[in-house]
């Protein structure tokens, strides 16, 4: 069972939608490309450039998200300023706009009736669930996931559904009272107040409330005079003194340029250089691979690296897979067989408890059953796909998700381009009881594995509940750094190869002469199996 509802990774606001372009290959297996396009409100198209590492080589996060708080009167132009900043920051990855409107309190049916009669003050600080607002923002800032409420202006009510957010490098919060609560203010790196002429705000609000929020002229004016204006004077305007910058409510292009430049500079200061850090971490301790078929487990010095028994049967499969002349049907057949072997082995590392059953001859038998509340698979696209199919063969109806992580052509830095996680990981209270099979074809530099493990930890999956399953590990690659950073993650593999070599991959040209993929540096495992995803999916 594939759970696709978590496909929102990059959010500009509640109506934005990341699009991961896919095409289906001959084998019917979908192929993900690395272009993510954001379609935001009003047909603005925003490009995401993926998220670079937000952690160091010890596996711990090194920087929080950069948080901007924008306050100002209703219809002063807060959302406009937030969106303009997003557009100006085009090359900054993963920007989330979080609106205070999402945090209006849940109402009783009585209160909803009063709201429809314009008898509820939605402009008073008590109307907002400030502690929930601050908690969600705190989690997002700390690179953790959060689930925010969804509010309906038409129904004057918080809806039952929530919206999952994760992975922000920059968070922009906006709301009339965004600078009111001290707990919120403490989370901002930059505080902005949008100052706008009252007549202009009223005119804009009238137009918007009638057009977008289903209100009447009389109702809007009544609400404005009774609640909006007094609250603006008493609670909103006084918060301008907390702002670092006052931005005009119109003709504010220059102010927005200055703000975008400031944020870009701050992001540069925070940028981690993950690969150079990994390189400086020193060579990993070489892995000793036992030669006898029986001594396959608990490899020294990394007791959580589990190698399949090196039997002649297994070596036979690897020989077929390593042969560049193996026809594709055979490659798929033997990859599937190997994936099943690996998944069966990986299943041994789930917790088990005793279970007594009665056999058909009425005798009691005490055996075992899996003792895990939730189990799921997360594959790193697209080479993890064959292992995902293996997982589905050993656990029927298993929840699965995926991550798209690619390297920057020039620097080789990994970039998180897309994330689609099962619900048992997205909800923190379930994540702590979830066991995850993390699936990728090989561990070379370890950069993708590193990022994937960090993402699971950010969501609250315990480190020792992660079982990484892979066909190949490069002895001299990132396995040493992975071992140091995440010592309790289990890694189940079928072969350990000798070396990792840096090489250039040629650009891929489409039939019409357009470049589909630029030339880039890659690391190749040797002897290896080549690019397993390409050979499997074509």
Ligand X SMILES: Nc1ncnc2c1ncn2[C@@H]1O[C@H](COP(=O)(O)OP(=O)(O)O)[C@@H](O)[C@H]1O
Ligand Y SMILES: Nc1ccn([C@@H]2O[C@H](COP(=O)(O)O)[C@@H](O)[C@H]2O)c(=O)n1
DSSP string, 204-240: HHHHHHHHHS---HHHHHHHIIIIIHHHIIIIIGGGG
CB-based contact 384:376 (threshold 8 Å): no
536 binds, among ligand X, ligand Y, none (CB under 5 to 8 A by kind): none
For residues 34 and 49, give the distance between their C-alpha atoms in angstroms, rounded to a whole number.
Answer: 9
In the bound complex, what is the minimum distance in angstroms from residue 202's beta carbon to ligand X?
11
Q: How far is the CB of 114 from ligand X (least distance, A)?
A: 23
Residue of 76, 223, 407, 434 that binds ligand X (CB under 6 A):
76
528 binding partner (options ligand X, ligand Y, none; Cβ < 5 to 8 Å by kind)? none
Instruction: Candidates 69-77, 134-142, 296-304, 335-343: pick the segment binding ligand X (CB under 6 A).
Output: 69-77
Beta bridge partners of 495: 472
CB nearer ligand X, residue 178 or residue 466? 178
Binding positions for ligand X, 237-296, rule CB under 6 A: 250, 252
Cα atoms found within 13 Å of the Cα of residue 207, Cβ hemisphere only: 7
Report angle CA 512, 516, 520 to the nearest 5 degrees.
140
88: contact with ligand X by CB under 6 A: no
Task: Examine residue 491 and say whether the peptide bond preceding it is cis (omega within 30 degrees of 0).
Answer: no
Size of the residue set binding ligand X (CB under 6 A): 12
| Shortest Å distance, C-beta 75 to ligand Y | 5
* Residue 535 near ligand X by CB under 6 A: no
Q: Indicate the Cα dihedral angle 206, 208, 212, 218, nearest 10°.
A: 0
Q: Which does 146 bind (CB under 5 to 8 A by kind): ligand Y, ligand X, none?
A: none
Please state, in angstroms and rounded to a whole number, the distance separating the CA atoms of residues 58 and 243. Answer: 36
Answer for the pair 175, 78: CB distance below 8 angstroms, yes or no.
yes
Give, as ranges, the residues between 166 and 195 that touch ligand X (CB under 6 A).
none
Nearest to residue 408, comparing CAs of 139, 93, 194, 130?
A: 93
- 78 makes contact with ligand X (CB under 6 A): yes
From 71-79, 110-118, 304-312, 375-383, span contacting ligand X (CB under 6 A): 71-79
CB of 366 to ligand Y, least distance (A): 59
The whole-angstrom separation of Cα 163 and Cα 18 is: 14
Cβ-in-10-Å burial (0-12, 13-18, 19+) of 273 comes to: middle
Q: Which residues have C-beta within 8 Å of that of residue 236, sequence separation ≥ 6?
A: 71, 72, 73, 123, 176, 177, 180
Instruction: Compute the least distance from the CB of residue 133 to ligand X, in Å.
Output: 16
Considering the complex, what minimum distance in angstroms separates the CB of residue 232 from ligand Y?
8
Looking at the Cβ atoms of 104 and 331, the one nearer to ligand Y is: 104
Cα separation of 538 and 536, whole Å? 6
Is 220 near ligand X (CB under 6 A)? no
Residues lying near ligand Y in the complex (CB under 6 A) are found at: 74-75, 101, 104, 115, 122-123, 153, 156, 176, 228
Residue from 6, 16, 48, 79 touching ligand X (CB under 6 A): that is 79
Q: Of ligand Y, ligand X, none, which one sits near residue 115, judging by CB under 5 to 8 A according to partner kind?
A: ligand Y
Nearer to ligand X, 80 or 459 (CB): 80
Give the DSSP H/E element, type plus range, for residue 341.
helix 328-347
Q: Give the 3-state secondary structure of residue 46.
A: strand
Does position 204 bind ligand X by CB under 6 A? yes
User: Which of ligand X, ligand Y, none is residue 204 near (CB under 5 to 8 Å by kind)?
Assistant: ligand X
250 binds, among ligand Y, ligand X, none (CB under 5 to 8 A by kind): ligand X
Residue 80 binding: pick among ligand X, ligand Y, none (C-beta 5-8 Å cut-off by kind): ligand X
In Å, what is the CA distance from 84 to each residue of 44, 207, 252, 404? 10, 21, 10, 28
What is the C-alpha separation between 451 and 455, in angstroms, rounded? 6
CB of 252 to ligand X, least distance (A): 5
User: Which one, 64 or 123, has the nearer CB to ligand Y?
Assistant: 123
Comparing CB distances to ligand X, the nearer of 18 and 72 is: 72
Question: Coil, helix or strand for 329?
Answer: helix
Q: Given the complex with ligand Y, which of 222 and 297 has the nearer CB atom?
A: 222
Task: Report, in Å, the least distance between residue 138 CB and ligand Y.
Answer: 22
**Who's near 225: CB < 8 A, 6+ residues apart?**
none
The burial of 297, by beta-carbon neighbours within 10 Å (0-12 exposed, 13-18 middle, 19 or more buried), is given as middle
The residue from 53, 69, 72, 480 that contacts ligand X (CB under 6 A) is: 72
Query: Nearest approach, Cβ of 503 to ligand X (angstroms)?
Result: 50
List residues binding ligand X (CB under 6 A). Answer: 72, 74-80, 204, 208, 250, 252
């Amino acid at each position: 069972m594939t759970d696709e509802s978590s496909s929102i990774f990059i959010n500009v606001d509640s109506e934005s939608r990341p699009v991961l372009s896919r095409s289906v290959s001959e084998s019917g297996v979908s192929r993900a490309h690395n272009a993510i396009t954001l379609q935001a409100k009003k047909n603005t198209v925003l490009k995401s450039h993926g998220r670079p590492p937000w952690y160091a080589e010890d596996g711990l996060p090194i920087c929080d998200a950069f948080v901007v708080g924008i306050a100002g009167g209703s219809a002063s132009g807060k959302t406009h300023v937030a969106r303009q900043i997003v557009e100006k920051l085009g090359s900054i990855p993963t920007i989330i706009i979080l609106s205070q409107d999402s945090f209006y309190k849940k109402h009783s049916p009585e209160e909803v009736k009063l709201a429809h009669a314009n008898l509820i003050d939605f402009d008073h600080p008590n109307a907002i669930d400030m502690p929930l607002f601050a908690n969600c923002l705190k989690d997002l800032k700390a690179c953790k996931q959060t689930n925010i409420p969804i509010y309906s202006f038409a129904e004057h009510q918080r809806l039952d559904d929530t919206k999952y957010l994760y992975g922000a490098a920059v968070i922009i919060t906006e709301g009339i009272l965004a600078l009111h609560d001290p707990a919120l203010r403490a989370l901002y790196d930059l505080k902005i107040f949008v100052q706008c002429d009252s007549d202009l705000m009223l005119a804009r609000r009238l137009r918007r409330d009638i057009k977008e929020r289903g209100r009447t002229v009389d109702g809007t004016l009544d609400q404005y005079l009774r609640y909006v204006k007094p609250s603006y004077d008493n609670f909103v305007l006084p918060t301008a003194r907390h702002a670092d910058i006052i931005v005009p409510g119109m003709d504010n292009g220059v102010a927005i340029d200055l703000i975008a430049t400031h944020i870009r500079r701050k992001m540069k200061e925070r940028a981690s250089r993950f690969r150079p850090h990994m390189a400086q971490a020193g060579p990993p301790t070489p892995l000793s691979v036992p030669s006898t078929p029986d001594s396959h487990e608990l490899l020294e010095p990394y007791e959580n690296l589990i190698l399949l028994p090196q039997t002649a049967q297994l070596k036979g499969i690897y020989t077929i897979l390593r042969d560049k002349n193996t026809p594709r049907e055979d490659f798929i057949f033997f990859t599937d067989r190997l994936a099943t072997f690996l998944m069966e082995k990986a299943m041994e590392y789930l917790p088990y408890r005793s279970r007594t059953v009665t056999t058909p001859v009425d005798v009691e038998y005490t055996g075992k059953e899996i003792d895990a509340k939730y189990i799921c698979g997360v594959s790193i696209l697209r080479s993890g796909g064959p292992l995902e199919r293996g997982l589905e063969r050993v656990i029927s109806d298993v929840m699965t998700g995926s991550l798209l992580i690619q390297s920057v052509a020039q620097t080789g830095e990994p970039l998180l381009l897309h994330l689609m996680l099962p619900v048992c990981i997205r909800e923190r209270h379930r994540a702590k009881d979830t066991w995850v099979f993390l699936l990728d074809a090989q561990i070379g530099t370890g950069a993708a594995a590193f990022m994937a493990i960090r993402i699971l930890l950010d969501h609250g999956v315990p480190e020792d509940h992660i079982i990484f399953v892979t066909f190949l590990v490069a002895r001299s690659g990132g396995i040493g750094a992975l071992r140091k950073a995440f010592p309790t993650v289990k890694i189940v593999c079928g072969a350990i190869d000798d070396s990792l070599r840096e090489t250039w991959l040629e650009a891929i040209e489409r039939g019409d002469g357009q470049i589909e993929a630029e030339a880039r540096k890659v690391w190749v495992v040797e002897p290896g199996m080549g690019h397993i995803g390409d050979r499997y999916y074509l």
